[in-house]
Structures are given as C-alpha cells and as structure tokens.
Amino acid sequence: MDLTGLLTDRYELTMLDSFVTDGSVGHDAVFEAFARRLPPGRRYGVLAGLGRLLPMIEAFRFDEDDVAWLLEQGVVGEQTADYLRSFRFSGDIDAYPEGDLYFPGSPVLTVRGTLGECVVLETLVLSVLNHDTAIASAAARMTTAAQGRPLVEMGSRRTHEEAAVSAARAAYLAGFASTSNLAAGRRHGVPTVGTAAHAFTLAHASEVEAFRSQVEAQGVGTTLLVDTYDTPQGIRHAIEAAGTGLGAVRIDSGDLADEAHAARALLDELGATQTRIVATSDLDEYVITALADAPIDGYGVGTRVVTGSGHPTASMVYKLVAVADSPGGPLRAVAKKSHDKISVGGAKTAHRRYDDGVLVEEWFAVDEPEGAGAATPVQVPVVRGGDVVHRPDLEAVRAHCAAAIASLPDVARIVADGDPYLRVGPRPEGAAR
C-alpha cells in the first residue's frame, strides 16, 4: 500500500480544508526549512535525506481509498476531497545540495508553489530531513574522529526497521565505509559487510571449531570475533584456525584501548603482523577520539550513530515566509515573532564566502533575484514544475560531503563540544556581492 499522501499530520489537511473553503488555496506561497539552532555542542550540521525526500514529493498523491478514509474520519470536506483526488505538487524547490554543511539560520530548503500544495508537504519534509540530517551530522563527527580508519554502520537492531535503512544511507554519505544492513545495500548501493556474532561461536562445541567453520565458508580474509570467552585465548584460536594471514579480529568488550594493545602484541608475537583489529561496543565520536592512539584499524558503530549520538533530530522547522493575498498577486513577507521561535520573513538567497578554500562566511539576502551578486550561491534547483531535476548518485553526494567538511577550518572540525562555527542571517554590511 502506497501511503505517501498520508505520511502527514492531520493538521496539515485541516489547514488545507480551510484554505479550500476560504479560497486562498491557490494563492502563491513560499515555505522554508531551516534550523534555529544546532544540537548543543555541535559546531556544524550535515544536510541529508534530500535524495530520499524529492522522489517522495514527486510521488505525493491521495488515491480514492485515501480520500474516502479522510472523508469518513471527518478530516476534510467534499470540496477538499475533490482537490485531493487530483493533487500533485507542481511547484519549484531549491535546496542546499545533500551532504552540504548548514548552520543556525541556513535556509536549507525553499518550496515555492500554491499555499495548498506547499502546506501539505510540511510533515514529510521534516520527518525525512530531521532524521537523516541528525544521523549524517553525528556520522560526520565520528568520521573525523576516526582519522581515516574505516567505520562500519551496524545499528539496525537498535532502531525501527525502515529507519535502519535510511540511517545506513545517511552514515555512508557522511563518511562511513559500509553498513551491515542489506536493504541499504540493495536500495541505495551502500557497501555491506558482516561475518558472525557471538551466537555463532556459542553454537559450536568449541571456539576453534567455530572459527574453522567461518574460515572455511568465508576465507582467511574474514574477521573473527575473539572475545566470546577469553580474548587472548580467542586470538590464539583464531590464528590456529586461519593462520597468520587472517584478515582481522574483532573485539567487542572490555577496555578497548587496553584490549587492542594486548591484541596487537599477541598477534605480532604469533606472526599475524598484518591481521587488523576492529573494535565495536557502544562507540561514539568521543570514545573514538579517546582511542586515537590505540592500535585499532577500524570501528563498528551501532546505537550511537542510528540515534544521532544523543541528538536524534536536527530540530528543523518548515515555515511560511511569504504569501500572496490574491491569485497571482505580489508576495507578502510573513514571519513568526514568538519568543525563542522567531523567523525571518521573505524568500531568501543564501551565499557563502571562502578564503583560500576555507569557508569563512554564510549569509542570506531576502527577495534577491536569482543569480544576483558574485558570492558563491548555496542552493541549487532540485524540483521544477513538480518534477525532480537534481538526482546526484550517492557517491557524488558522499564526495560533496567530504569536500564540504574539508572546507571547514580545523577549529570547526574539533569533535569536542563547542558553539556553531557560523550563524546565518541577513547579509552583513560590506559583504562581497
């Protein structure tokens, strides 16, 4: 069953019902998605989810069964039901490229269309962007902490089954090397890895027999989990079963720094000098940073990456910033004035300035014509007339993300908690145009 049109909150459709009733449903409007703040301690965010979101917007429909159910539930009236039967988003969307940086105030997504067709997208836009961006932002910090060592996303058992797939995609675009989730491999092309759990060892009469079985099936390049009983003895059994050409051992418990040093010494003593050490067990960017000097060759991260490392949402909002008072009339800027929830009215054009490749400034201009000025624009066209016109593959998004993070100065890439590197607002006086 395709539930795309119903992946929304009820109040989106009750608002739509009122717009249909009062005749304003066809008035031009502009909505923007942005974050007022970053999660505490974060210096930057990484936008993710756009590649999932845009096809969902393109396919956003209400079939006859959907409409009948909405009528039965009293969500909409007959006039709005007729509107929904032929609904298709036909507007334009501009956005920061997926994998790009964002900061408090960055207008990461701008939706232009009629009031009716824009308002019903709010829940879908925010559910996708808030989840995927939270994962990618955490994963980027973990990638930085790993200092070039590969990271495996392995959090499928710690989140919703569909969230696991999108989390794997978001982690990969932010720098993770692979995932354990096969659906992410099939749907999105994320490289998949995986060998065995403790249950595999426990299912055999001895640890050596378990390791021999795994090596026979997967080859000596496999990774053997050596801490089911006793880690040093497990390492000896691993080399006994696979020989000194064993690909890797995985350690999933204990003081990982101490265990890794001891494992490295024992592996070298046994002649397995090229066997790698992979560490897992409740890792996050802070633990990975603390393990920087340990002889660990790669990490597996589960719970902390699929939950945004303590911040499972990016707290983005989707706000009306301009609306016409009549069909085809001029747009009027609108903004919230609520305490701590202020927004800036008017459609915005975001720009950045770089100094020798380093990002030094980001700002927006309100109601500035597209292409005005010489500063680097941030948004790109992604939907025109309801059709997706921006479809970079995941490898291109991954490369863009790596380049964006590389454009930050060293101080902004530090994993330790700090203030946002930039805050985005109206163009400062004297800024380059």
- Between 373 and 13, the higher pLDDT residue: 13
pLDDT digits (tens, 9 = 90+) for 41-100: 999 999 999 999 999 999 999 999 999 999 999 999 999 999 999 999 999 999 999 999
Q: What is the mean pLDDT of the chain?
A: 95
| Residues 44, 102 contacting (CB under 8 angstroms) | yes
Residue limits of CATH 3.20.20.70 in the chain:
147-306
- Nearest alpha-carbon partner for 239 in 231, 189, 364, 26: 231
pLDDT digits (tens, 9 = 90+) for 2-57: 667 999 999 999 999 999 999 999 999 999 999 999 999 999 999 999 999 999 99
pLDDT digits (tens, 9 = 90+) for 241-279: 999 999 999 999 999 999 999 999 999 999 999 999 999
Paired tokens of 423? 């805050």
How much is the pLDDT for 344? 87
SS (H, E, C) 285-332: HHHHHHCCCCCCCEEEECHHHHCCCCCCCCCEEEEEEEEECCCCCCEE
Q: Residue 96 has what DSSP assignment?
A: P
* Kind plus residue range of the DSSP H or E element containing 66: helix 64-72
Q: Which residues sit opposite 217 in a β-bridge? A: none
Range 162-176 average pLDDT: 98
Range 322-332 average pLDDT: 95
How much is the pLDDT for 371? 47
How much is the pLDDT for 336? 80
How much is the pLDDT for 95? 98
Torsion of CA 366, 369, 370, 374, to 10 degrees: -90
Residues above pLDDT 90, as percent of the chain = 93
Q: For the beta carbon of residue 71, count every other beta carbon within 10 angstroms.
A: 15
- Is pLDDT at 365 greater than 90 in this prediction? yes
How much is the pLDDT for 3? 67
| Residues 142, 309 contacting (CB under 8 angstroms) | yes
- Nearest alpha-carbon partner for 219 in 251, 190, 241: 241
| Residues 76, 70 contacting (CB under 8 angstroms) | yes
DSSP for 399-431, please give it: HHHHHHHHTS-HHHH-SS----S----BPPTT-
| Residues 96, 378 contacting (CB under 8 angstroms) | yes
The CATH code for residues 4-134+311-413 is 3.20.140.10
H helices of 189-249, where?
198-202, 207-218, 231-242
Residue limits of CATH 3.20.140.10 in the chain:
4-134+311-413
Q: For the beta carbon of residue 223, count every other beta carbon within 10 angstroms.
A: 24
How much is the pLDDT for 372? 47
Q: Phi-psi category of 175—alpha, beta or left, where left has phi over 0 and alpha has psi -120 to 50?
A: left
Alpha-carbon distance 196 to 93, whole Å?
A: 45
Q: Using alpha carbons, list the distances in angstroms from residue 138 to 144, 303, 304.
A: 10, 12, 8
How much is the pLDDT for 272? 98
The CATH code for residues 147-306 is 3.20.20.70
Range 189-194 average pLDDT: 97
Paired tokens of 9? 């909150």
